[in-house]
Chain A
Amino acid sequence: MYERGSSALRELAGARELLRNLTSRELKVRYKRSTLGFLWTLLNPLLMMAVFTLVFSTAFKTTIEWFPVYFLSGYLPFAFFQASVMIATGSIVGNAGLITKVYFPRAVLPLSVVASQLVHLLLGIGVLLGALVVLDLASDSADFDFVPYLPVLVLAIVLLAAFAMGMALLFSAGNTFLRDIGEFLPVGFLLWFYATPVIYQVDFLPEDWRWVLLLNPLTYYVQLFRDALYDPHWPAPATVAAATVCAAVSLVVGWTLFVRLSERFAKEV
């Protein structure tokens, strides 16, 4: 049972089981009525990869080596972040029936979305790792020796998840009071996608525009995933520092605002 108000964080810690149940609800319900079910988690990024690879190897003649690997190692974290934030944004408003009828720590709603997306991300990465092993063995020119750099991968996942949680809290609370946020997100994320080096490399942008990438937190997370998977090596300290700072700021701001605004959720939804 929740110890109301004792401290919002302690309360959230007491709701671990609810968080777990809501997460599994998200996962179970999502594919309940599709034939391929959970396979979609893997099919979606693979199909995206196929489309982008086709477009970039024929129309744009990309010079990026191993483009499918380059794409997936950036797209998986980006897609995780996008789905987390977009679904979480509607999580308070979408659960109005619960919020006006039962008390529970409200943060479990957006956080369970992030958690369920994390499961999808881990599965996707698992498959990618498998593919890298195969590529490494099958091709002489491939060198995906990611094993020594697995700590980088773990760090990248932890930091990105923290960043996504903060944003999910922020957007879900904000959307309760300003519904335009939910409407704007699809376009916002399209823009964000192109402002992140998922389908191109940093030096593809004219120098005048590189500052956009430096201001975009996702650049650092994508970079960390690439450092771990595409071109395994130890990341630059600056990248790690930037990713850590962004995650911490996101968590603190998101959590603080969420706790403050959540008192009024029941009246606003």
Chain B
Amino acid sequence: MTSVHGGPRPPGSVQVRDVWESFRVYHERAQGLRDRLFAGRRNVVEEFWALRGVSLELEPGDTVGLIGENGSGKSTLLKCIAGIYTPTRGEVRTWGRTASMLELGAGFHGDLTGRENVYLNGSILGFSKRQVDAVFDEMIDFAGPQVAEAIDRPVRTYSSGMYLRLGFSVSVHLEPDILIIDEVLAVGDARFVQKCFDRIHELKRKGVTIAVVSHDLETVASLCERAVYLVRGEVVAAGPAVEVVDRYREDVTTAAPGGAISRWEGGAVYGTGAMQLHDIRLTTSTGAEGVATGDRLAVEFDAVAHEDVANPVFGMIVRANDGTYLYDTNTLWRRQGTGAVQPGGRLAVRFEFVANLLPGRYVVTVAASRHDGKQIYDWHTDALGFDVVGDFVANGLADLEGDISVEAAGDASAPGRTTDDTAERGVDTRDVPAGGS
């Protein structure tokens, strides 16, 4: 990585040129001597390209949101811009001072006081004591009275909320030329989050270049002028944020033709093999043309025994595509006997469930294990995937079947007020000691 300070471009510029980034994925992470010496080439090492030829130019004051599903490479790209990763191929250049906000309070030490940590954190982000001095009071003020009061106590005594508030405050008061933010805005109480947004908008007005990764598309659309949409490490759309976000939303909520239900490439498959699962498939009550919210789905597979097994347990896990755990059930918890199976014996297993899910992509893991669930016979991580499609009326994962009613509110009439007053008095009464009256 090269960077030229005060080079041909003004501070706040970023140039990402044809960046490729690879990770080595070890099946069994080889970090010990024995693994290196004896496993040698037999060790299964896969090369995984998180970024494939990404280019991006930012001018001072640009605000860009990186969007895409988990594993699309957006966080990797952000870390390349932040300098945390060095591109395997290609080049990232930045002009000016870069501060990354990938984790609030990164580098805080529990035994040091809030004040000591602020200076330490400041210098980790690359700011001098004088620069921190200049904004210290403002910073503490922003973090709130609770933090201000505890500033000379060790941060291990802080609540997690205080910790995050102080961490955020440090990050946004030291003004860099380029600010990098990864999913850190969803912290603390609503009021503090609002304050954070206000502060980031203020930095934006001051001309700080901002690159942000967020799952919250509204954040991206409102904060960023531009957006870059990544799929499997490649840029598939870049341009005005509102348009790119719409395009992404469309992709997530519209199934590709015939691709609504797919045999996933899937994740790890493992187990003793005493029993093996075959022909794992997903069917819908309406046929295979895509899944709509509320559809009844069935996950089916055949389980073939290779040894004598008694009462094997069959289970299914549904997860959102970003890994969020949604639903997990099995025959053991349901106290459902499955009987004895001899070698060569075959069972047909069928899980039925209702997709009370909002539009998006979901994955299904299936498994067979011993009668007590403690030994895995065959486990297929993310064996299936399906896309729930539908109109975008709500964001999130579960369909809570919400309704919104909006009516013209009546006059603030006397009965309403009376009720309020009664409630307040009720509280007051409780505060009076029982024997007081």
Cα distance A99–B86 when bound, in Å?
A: 13
Q: A12-49: which residues lie under 8 A (CB-CB) from chain B?
A: 15, 17-18, 21-22, 25, 28-29, 32-33
In the complex, what residues of B have CB within 8 A of residue A22's CB?
A: 120
User: Contacts A3-B5, A21-B123; is A103 near B84 (CB within 8 Å)?
Assistant: yes
Cα distance A27–B303 when bound, in Å?
A: 61
Residue of B nearest to A22 (CB): B120
Cα distance A4–B85 when bound, in Å?
A: 12
In the complex, what residues of B have CB within 8 A of residue A267's CB?
A: 23-24, 85
B100 & A101 in contact (Cβ 8 Å cutoff): yes
A178 & B124 in contact (Cβ 8 Å cutoff): no
Residue of A nearest to B83 (CB): A103
A1 & B98 in contact (Cβ 8 Å cutoff): yes
Cα distance A165–B84 when bound, in Å?
A: 24
B36, B86, B97: the one contacting A1 at CB < 8 Å is: B97
Binary CB contact string for chain A from 235 to 269 against chain B (1 if under 8 A, 0 otherwise):
00000000000000000000000000001101110
In the complex, what residues of A have CB within 8 A of residue B94's CB?
A: 4
Cα distance A3–B106 when bound, in Å?
A: 21
A17, A102, A178: the one contacting B84 at CB < 8 Å is: A102
In the complex, what residues of A have CB within 8 A of residue B36's CB?
A: 178
> Contact residue range for chain B?
35 or more
A140 contacts the other chain (Cβ, under 8 Å)? no
A102 & B120 in contact (Cβ 8 Å cutoff): no
B112 & A18 in contact (Cβ 8 Å cutoff): no
B112 & A4 in contact (Cβ 8 Å cutoff): no
Cα distance A208–B384 when bound, in Å?
A: 70
A210 contacts the other chain (Cβ, under 8 Å)? no
B404 contacts the other chain (Cβ, under 8 Å)? no
Cα distance A97–B100 when bound, in Å?
A: 13
A3, A29, A104: the one contacting B112 at CB < 8 Å is: A29
Among B5, B32, B128, find the residue whose CB has the most chain A CB atoms closer than 10 A.
Answer: B5
A203 contacts the other chain (Cβ, under 8 Å)? no
A127 contacts the other chain (Cβ, under 8 Å)? no
B129 & A17 in contact (Cβ 8 Å cutoff): yes
Residue of A nearest to B100 (CB): A102
In the complex, what residues of A have CB within 8 A of residue B83's CB?
A: 4-5, 103
Give residues in B with beta carbon < 8 Å to A: 1-5, 23-24, 31-33, 36, 79, 82-86, 94, 96-100, 102-103, 106-107, 109, 111-112, 116, 119-120, 123-129, 176
4 new A-B contacts, CB < 8 A, other than A29-B112, A101-B102, are A3-B5, A28-B116, A102-B106, A103-B100
